[in-house]
Structure 1
Amino acid sequence: MRRMEFKMERQGLIEIGQEVKIREGKLPTLYYYVIEPAVAMSGNFAFGERLKSRTGKIIDIKETEKGFYVEAEFDE
């Protein structure tokens, strides 16, 4: 299992336990991931850290002073 953190700007867009689809985006030398439909975005990852799975499950949502952070788990 692999866990990744995503930044979510608004509360209530997804729920713990929900199955989600992931879209991969590419920068010149890095990759990033978006929970569809554009609910939350990951940080940047190098080529060797790319996510293989395109579906995952939300396991936690935390509220901080900087916004909401979503933790998702993937079968890898």
Structure 2
Amino acid sequence: MRKELFHMERDVLNIGDSVTIIEGQLPFSYYYTIVPALAMSKNYKNAERIKSREGKVVSKERKGSTFEIYVEFEN
């Protein structure tokens, strides 16, 4: 199992929710978005890419005006 951090501005996801991600590509890195544009990840190097496209929200914490959520993936 792999846990990754996503940042969310609106309180729309809860612990236990299943999510789908899409991959975006920058010139030297990749980023992930929980669709439909609910939360975003940090940038990842090629060797750190997330292979799974579905995961489950395992934790959620309010950080000021935003939320940090951790999503658990199979890989």
TM-score range, shorter chain: over 0.9
- 1:39 corresponds to which letter in structure 2? L
- Cα distance between partner residues in 2 of 1:34 and 1:10: 14
Alignment partner, residue 65 of structure 1: 64
% identical aligned pairs = 45
Amino acid at match of 2:39: A
| 1:4 counterpart letter in structure 2 | E
Q: Which deviations, in whole Å up to 9, do the C-alpha atoms of 1:46-68 show, x marking residues without a partner?
A: 00000000000000110012511
The count of corresponding residues between Structure 1 and Structure 2 is 75
TM value normalised by structure 2? 0.96
Question: AA paired with 2:4?
Answer: M
RMSD: 0.8
Aligned to 1:4: 4
2:13 counterpart residue number: 14
- What is the one-letter code of the residue matched to 1:47? N
Shift >6 Å, 4+ stretches: none
Residue of structure 2 in register with 1:46 after alignment:
45
Consecutive unaligned residues of structure 1, counting only runs of 5 or more, are: none
Structure 2: 5+ residue stretches without partners: none
